[in-house]
Amino acid sequence: MELFEAINNLYKEAHNCGNIWFGLLLTINKNGKYSSKFYYEGTPLLDGNNEELDKRMNDLRS
């Protein structure tokens, strides 16, 4: 399965559950470890402000 197709399927499944995100960041380091971040409406998606994003996401989890 191509990566784009997998992300598209993930988005559709999340949308069906009411979990609507607007962006996804996937990073993979040289050891194969990966991390992901989902971006929601109102989060600093484009400005690269990960500190602000993490604060907002932690506030949502509280």
Q: What is the 3-state secondary structure (H, E, C) of 36-62?
A: EEEECCCCCCCCCCHHHHHHHHHHHHC
> pTM, whole model, 2 decimals?
0.48
Parent domain of 28: 3-61
Domain count along the chain: 1
Greater confidence (29 vs 53) lies with 29
CA distances from 45 to 16, 21, 32, 48 (A): 22, 11, 24, 7
Return the pLDDT at 30: 92
pLDDT band at 31 (very low <50, low <70, confident <90, very high): very high
pLDDT score of 61 more than 70: yes
pLDDT score of 47 more than 80: no
Average pLDDT over residues 37-52: 70
| End-to-end Cα, the chain, rounded Å | 36
Return the pLDDT at 2: 83
Distance CA 61, CA 55 (A): 10
